[in-house]
A and B are shown apart, each in its own frame.
Chain A
Amino acid sequence: MKFSYNWLQTHIQEKLPTPEVISQTLTHKCFEVDGIEKLADDYVFDVKILPDRSHDAAAHRVLARELCYYLELTYLPQHIQDKAGVFEGPKLAIQDTQASPRFMARSITALQAKESPKWLVDSLEAIGQRSINPIVDITNYVLYDLGKPIHAFDADKIVGTITTRFAKEGETVVTLDGKYITLDSSILVLADEEGPLDIAGIKGGKKAEVTHDTTHVIIVSSNFNSSLIRKTTQKVGIKTDAARRFENGITSELCAYALEVATALTVEIAGTDKTETSINTDIYPKPEKRYKVGVSTSEINRVLGTTLSDTDIAQIFTKRGFSYVYVKNVRENIKTVATQAIGKKYKRGASVLYDAPDVFDCSSLTAYAYSESGIAIPRISVDQFVYGTDTADIEVGDILCINSGIIKSEQGTYYSQVLQKDIAECAIRTESVEWMPGTQVLLGIDHVGIYMGEGVVVHAHGAHGAVVKESIVGSVFEQGAIYKKLLFSDEGRFVVSAPFERLDIRIKEDLIDEVSKWIGTDTGTPKNTKAASVGEVTKKIHYTAHIRNFLKQEGYSEIMTTSFSDEGDIAIQNSVDPKKNHLRKNLQTGLLQALHKASYNSLSLGIEFDPTVRLFEIGNIFSGENTEETHICIGVITKNKKEKKQVEQRLKDTLSKLLNTVSEEGLSLEASQITSQVMSTDEVVGYSMIEISIDELVVQLPEKNTFVPLVGKKTDTIYQTLSVFPFITRDIAVFVPSEVDLQKLEDTLLEKGGELCTKIYQFDRFQKTGEERISFGYRLVFQVADRTLSDNEIEPIMTDIYATFSSLGWEVR
């Protein structure tokens, strides 16, 4: 997202440091800056906000706060002069609170068409947003400043109550940019009594559009379920900045603040003497509560490899603006929380976050007591059982688990706020749901309680309809309860109340991440990384390395071709390239193309590929519905007539030798034992290829796991860029006296060849018996990066070479 330097400055008391310092700070501490653009009197940062912070940090206000934290500057809270509402707010309704957890709106009257003030136009333009009219500009400003999408309707165009509801099949909406969208019942809309006004959270509609003539607006500030918005954007194919924010999840707590800021700005910018604002209408059935996350100093040190103290951690959290309590005695704290819960109502499926501390079920009580003490334990009884370790020596704060057999099973599912998914209703569970899915608990667990010491337990019990404190003797736990320890250590813990906006702070690792961001990664002390023993490779890797080494020694070069093909057994659903919409089912097709290309290119590469080009590829192929296999395809191609007749035999020999090499130790594999082999030969063209399955081969070989290094590694490669333009070759044969230094001959060729000549190589050396002179054949390869060479460019060079050789007394043949 783009951020304006001047805009950030409005939130910070001190003068901001230079754009470079800001960029460095953000990049090293929290968000990578991709670039800085200089405007006439502003700078714009392109900041990469990754998905973990997309829900809050794509906002100037938040980035300014991060800068204040890391640069130790003073954050200026927004000063809002809110005009108190004097008349009743807009009529609102929510059909589904799961889809739409909060819905707020406010109306403002007697507005006047004006231009947006310069600061607003400049701010929006700096980040690439066009000014439209004051009301729309204000909603955009709030979006990029607070990170909270809001929307303004022309109140005179709205009939009756505004409802967030799912659309009816076939209803339509015309978006602000004039697109007709046909809706269905999976799409959430805001609608008045006549029909849909917009696509909720994604795109505004024409019907109640704010224009220059608008004098009476309703500003709505709502929140929507993130995955619902994501599914809808994918379905209707509309991506907007607002939708992106809802997709990442936004706290409902921002709704009121965004509405306040928008109202104040609207009155200030577009208001008249007669302007009045309504009271807020606010439907918010389940107010969010702050999430508690705990961590101990030793847990932080264990992960970061540091030696921080409790004081260090306390300082970091304080600077970060995280409110926390330090729980010194975890067991006593669990006991205190449990004591406070006595007498509270019982409700099965009570939420730890929303219903506590007023309503509990058995496991929400334990989860809550632990959470308040800084320990995240699983939410469900059976998971708490699996999470804990058996103990005979039960202490205060430990839990008791039992299969009471008296809780009746219920039908259906419930939505778990903790797990963020639907969980099947079930009274007695015999398998871990969340903590270690799949772990069996044969005895079954349906009830848990907290041990208070001296034979007393506190538990939320359906039969009592409340949280009760009672003696274990005579309670449901009397027979067969299992004691579990859920604490790994009794050390003190920081229990942080995550700020509402920080939806990413949910587990202790998230707090450790915050500490790491503050201290950096240079303070830890690593352990010695020296290995006790050398690591092993898989059997397939071991033998494949042998195969590579053998082929290399036989003069074969390894290439790679694409895994995609225009045909195959497995098609790709969403490929855009029709030539690459399947997975390859063999290596031969690719290798044959490579052989042809190599045969052509061998002219420019030198004698090592002439007259026979030898290549192989090792890679995975996909056949049938499910088969993924590693194959090797070995191929040769030649232009030499005599060689053409031998290509197939040459490959057969190579395969036999290959099998011999890998199957040392008395086990001799014959080619006939490899059923996967496919041979393909064309003696007219002059190629032959053989493809086998390495998986099939390896299965037949003994287990070996040592790493086999490559042989004959070149260590001095200086890579030469390839030209996309064709090369031209010229051959020259010359007689030189035997005493002439070959180096001198080659130097002369290179010098005269000049920049156009990319390579020379000797392809012939011939000396007649009894003759003093030696005949050398050289090939010169000409190629440049930016054009196709013409003969006219080469001829003068060759003429010059002929002349030079003659002047040296060397005879050109």
Chain B
Amino acid sequence: MNQHHTLGHTHPIILLIDEITAIFTDMGFSVAEGRELVSENDNFDVLNFPKDHPARDMQDTFYIDTNKTSGTNRLLRTQTSSVQVPYMKEAILPIQMIVPGKVFRNESTDATHEMQFFQLEGMVINKTANVADLKKTLEDFLTKVFKKEAEIRMRPSFFPFVEPGYEVDMNCFKCGGQTDICSVCKGSGWIEILGAGMIHPNVLRAGGIDPRLYQGFAFGCGIDRIAMLKWGIDDVRLLYNGDVRVVAQF
């Protein structure tokens, strides 16, 4: 029997990362990586999360250990934003980059929450990058990834590492806001899809960049969430338990 007449299957998250990478490299973005096991410094301190501040509770963290000599904690990154400052320190300006990667949250799991999932981080730093550019970039990205003209709206929100910060909704690609019973947008016509904002000057400085000369924006979204929306995957836990029945559909 011919063993090789069929192609293997691709994991849907890998398929999405491939599409995202194609979209962003085409827009001139570089693709970076980062570690999953990071210091509390990279994951929180340099991202302007004050020590002993409730903002750290926004993300439930898996802590590993504390270095006896330096006193720094190690943890599993809760956000791909942990790549921002290490990347700034190494990179040559201007910066246009994305990082797709695995992140971890210490929370109970259900159909829409898993202790591990994938995020996409994006960052643009130059002399002029502004909120209007951010909006355009996100519109272009979402239009390409959902293969349908995306309209977005940005609502005020808060993430310590950006100011101003926004929650980004896109118009419902399924019903276009036309129906009250849409399973995707619940009739609101809008889907919460991204967090974004202008990079906080404290973060730029932590990366050795003078905020008077450079400015930029950053955005982040859950790749799993895009997968759930795009294909209607109803249980994210199935993505990480090695179930070939999910993968075989891609």
A interface residue numbers (CB < 8 A to B): 27-30, 32, 50-54, 226-227, 230-231, 244, 247-248, 302-306, 420, 435-436, 488, 507, 509-510, 512-513, 516-517, 520-521, 524-527, 529-538, 540-541, 545, 548, 551-564, 570-576, 580, 583, 590-591, 593-594, 597-598, 601-602, 604-605, 608-609, 611-615, 617, 619-620, 622, 628, 707, 709-714, 717-722
Contact = CB atoms under 8 A, between A and B. Distances in A.
A719 B64 contact: no
Contact of B6 (A52, A531, A608): A608
B106 interface: yes
Contact of A227 (B51, B64, B116, B135): B51
Interface in B230-248: 231-235, 238-248
B78 to A, nearest CB: 13
Given A534-B25, A537-B31, A516 B155 contact: no
B11 A524 contact: no
Given A562-B241, A622-B37, 9 more contacts: A32-B167, A226-B52, A231-B52, A436-B205, A529-B137, A560-B11, A560-B240, A563-B36, A620-B35
Which 3 pairs of residues, A with B, have the shortest CB-CB distance? A531-B28, A524-B132, A305-B132
22 contacts: A53-B158, A230-B52, A303-B131, A516-B131, A527-B133, A536-B30, A551-B8, A554-B4, A557-B244, A559-B11, A561-B241, A570-B65, A574-B62, A583-B64, A594-B244, A605-B248, A611-B1, A713-B15, A717-B249, A717-B250, A719-B233, A722-B238
B135 A524 contact: yes
B250 A714 contact: yes
Contacts of B240: 560-562
A712 B7 contact: yes
Nearest to A51: B55
Contact of A709 (B18, B64, B115, B156): B18
Contacts of A32: 155, 157, 167
B10 to A, nearest CB: 6
Classify chain B's interface size: 35 or more
A350 B22 CA distance: 55
A720 B235 CA distance: 11
A597 B4 contact: no
A512 B200 CA distance: 12
A349 B34 CA distance: 41
A488 B30 CA distance: 31
Nearest to A304: B131
A29 to B, nearest CB: 7
Contact of A509 (B7, B13, B18, B164): B164
Contacts of B8: 551-558, 614
Contact of A613 (B4, B15, B128, B244): B244
B12 to A, nearest CB: 8
Contacts of B201: 507, 509
Nearest to A225: B52
Nearest to B116: A563
B135 A521 contact: yes
B44 interface: no
A448 B226 CA distance: 54
A710 B31 contact: no
B244 A559 contact: yes
Most chain B CB neighbours (cut-off 10 Å) among A303, A532, A608, A721: A303
Contacts of A558: 8-11, 14, 247
Contact of A531 (B26, B65, B102, B106): B26
A542 B192 CA distance: 32
B115 A580 contact: yes
Interface string B144-182: 000000000111111010011111000000000000000
B71 interface: no
Interface in B16-34: 18, 21-22, 24-33
A506 to B, nearest CB: 10
A535 B27 contact: yes
A575 B24 CA distance: 36
Given A51-B158, A513-B156, A526-B133, A536 B27 contact: no
A529 B116 contact: no
Q: Is the interface of B mostly helix, strand, loop or mixed?
A: mixed
A555 B246 CA distance: 16
B92 interface: no
Given A558-B9, A563-B36, A573-B64, A612 B3 contact: yes
A682 B40 CA distance: 42
A529 B27 contact: yes
A420 B53 CA distance: 12
Most chain B CB neighbours (cut-off 10 Å) among A305, A436, A541, A612: A305
Given A488-B212, A713-B15, A597 B137 contact: no
Interface of B: 1, 3-4, 6-15, 18, 21-22, 24-33, 35-37, 50-55, 58, 61-65, 76, 96-97, 102, 104, 106, 115-116, 128, 130-133, 135-137, 140, 153-158, 160, 163-167, 198, 200-201, 205, 208, 210, 212, 215, 231-235, 238-250
A593 B234 contact: no
A281 B139 CA distance: 58
Most chain A CB neighbours (cut-off 10 Å) among B7, B241, B246: B7
Nearest to A577: B115
B250 A30 contact: no
B10 A713 contact: yes
A719 B3 contact: no
A29 B156 contact: yes
Contacts of B245: 601, 604-605, 722
Contacts of B166: 521
A305 B133 contact: yes
Nearest to A230: B52
A303 B7 CA distance: 48
Contacts of A556: 8
Contacts of A436: 205, 208, 210
A288 to B, nearest CB: 19
Given A604-B245, A608-B6, A531 B33 contact: no
Nearest to B133: A526
Contacts of B55: 51-52
A520 B250 CA distance: 40
Contact of A526 (B4, B15, B135): B135
Given A524-B132, A536-B30, A719-B231, A707 B25 contact: yes
Nearest to B231: A719
Contacts of B52: 226-227, 230-231
Contacts of A306: 132
Nearest to B163: A509
Given A51-B53, A541-B31, A628-B35, A552 B10 contact: yes
A524 B130 CA distance: 9
A524 B115 contact: no
A505 to B, nearest CB: 11
B231 to A, nearest CB: 4
A535 B198 contact: no
Given A517-B156, A554-B4, A540 B14 contact: no
A535 B231 CA distance: 28
Contacts of B22: 707, 709
A572 B64 contact: yes
A392 to B, nearest CB: 21
Contacts of A545: 18
Contacts of A619: 102
B158 A302 contact: no
A535 B130 contact: no
A529 B133 contact: yes
A503 to B, nearest CB: 12
Contact of A28 (B35, B65, B155): B155
A88 B128 CA distance: 61
B165 to A, nearest CB: 8
Nearest to B5: A555
A51 B63 contact: no
Contacts of A560: 11, 13, 239-240, 242
Contacts of A721: 234-235
Most chain B CB neighbours (cut-off 10 Å) among A51, A436, A562, A707: A51
